[in-house]
A = this chain, B = another copy of it.
Amino acid sequence: MLQVLQAEFADVTISKIRFLEAEGLVTPARTASGYRKFSAADVERLRYVLTAQRDQYLPLKVIKEHLAAMDRGLRPTPGGKPAAPANVPETSGLPIGEDFGVLGTDLKLTRAELRDAAGITDELLDQLESHGLVVARGNHYDGDAILVAKAAAAFAQYGVEPRHLRPFRTAADREAGLIEQVAGPRRTEKTEDLAALAVRLHAALVRSRLPR
């Protein structure tokens, strides 16, 4: 019953799993007689733990926090400190390599919450909306809106105003269209993969076109 897991990602031993359970990282269900019973979700969780440990060298304590954050609907930054819960003081300036934290998209924020979470003014938010960079769904905004707003705020510090950012919106729309065409209209794993790819391609292209 455990050989299955072992096959899937070599290097997990029974004792390791027991250890991880003792640490509260997984909590598989039990059969009446006390045997562990791993659901698909448990396996997924385990996979996350093992890869985070191997590829990002995160200590279990931190991985545990990430998992907890994910359970609360946030998603952890893909490396490093756990996701900030929306209204962190935000170390000012732009320490290279700091990322803004990636929040789940199934977050619902009021306009005021968005404004505070992103640390921007109402005025800037107005402009962002009028240029279509941030859009409300109903009268709520999602986690991505925070990220957009933060990026725009940082641009603003360099004197780049929302209207200069319109082309970003256009490009993003087109790419989202392409992705939807390829991955289908429902948001699936494939959609996410393609989106990740698009972002990577884009990043590399921009870099390659900067002055030497």
Report A's interface with B, CB cutoff 8 A: 51, 55-59, 62, 78-81, 94-100, 105, 133-135, 137, 142, 144-145, 147-148, 150-152, 154-155, 158-160, 164-165, 167-176, 178-180, 182-183, 185-187, 190-212
Contact = CB atoms under 8 A, between A and B. Distances in A.
A83 to B, nearest CB: 14
Taking chain A's interface residues, is the majority helix, strand, or loop, or is none over half, making it mixed? helix
Given A164-B178, A168-B202, A202-B172, A57 B51 contact: no
Contacts of A167: 171, 174-175, 178
A147 B80 contact: no
Given A56-B79, A78-B79, A182-B160, A100 B171 contact: no
B204 A187 contact: no
Given A96-B196, A158-B183, 15 more contacts: A78-B99, A94-B196, A147-B207, A148-B205, A155-B194, A155-B201, A164-B178, A168-B198, A171-B205, A172-B206, A175-B209, A176-B210, A180-B211, A191-B211, A199-B202
A159 B182 contact: yes
Contacts of A208: 105, 134-135, 142, 144-145, 148, 172
A51 B95 CA distance: 10
A210 B175 CA distance: 9
Contact of A57 (B59, B96, B135): B59
B176 A206 contact: yes
Contacts of A160: 178, 182, 194
A39 B142 CA distance: 46
A150 B205 CA distance: 12
A209 B176 contact: yes
Contact of A210 (B147, B174, B195): B195
